[in-house]
Amino acid sequence: MNLLLDTCTLLWCLSDDPSLDPNARKLVTDENNAVYVSAASIWEISIKQSLGKLKTPDNLLDSIATCRFELLPITPTHAAAVKDLPLHHRDPFDRMLVIQAKEDRMTLVTRDGFLEEYGVAVLRA
């Protein structure tokens, strides 16, 4: 299974937060599954850090690598595909995650119920 973590889920995984659904935790830690982190999530976290709205370790990329998560770049194809998404959700970072999950055939790990409206595979975080 190919899993794409949304930003909140990524933060829960990195901090071993008990808010993460036990089934999601099991699948994310299963070595048979590939777990991806989008550049969009790293970008979102960095913006919130710079505004003082979020405290995370300075070594975010190292923490991601330690968890064996793979980095997923934003490609021009991803960027262009956003124009075709209906406006169920206005958050640009979440919209990019939806496109990446659809284009790259991944299951999006999230607790945001609105994202299911896009017809993307979702695993409840």
Q: Which CATH number is 42's domain given?
A: 3.40.50.1010
Asked whether residue 125 is assigned to any structural domain, the reply reads no
Quick: pLDDT tens for 18-62: 999 999 999 999 999 999 999 999 999 999 999 999 988 779 999
Q: Return the residue matching tokens 């991601």.
A: 64
Residue 27 near residue 34, CB atoms below 8 Å: no
Which segments within 1-124 are labelled E, that is strand?
2-5, 34-38, 70-72, 107-110, 122-124
CA-CA distance, 92 to 40, in Å (whole number)? 9
Asked whether residue 120 is assigned to any structural domain, the reply reads no
Asked whether residue 61 is assigned to any structural domain, the reply reads yes
Asked whether residue 36 is assigned to any structural domain, the reply reads yes
Quick: pLDDT tens for 50-88: 999 998 877 999 999 999 999 999 999 999 999 999 988
Structure tokens at 54: 């979020």
pTM listed for this prediction: 0.95
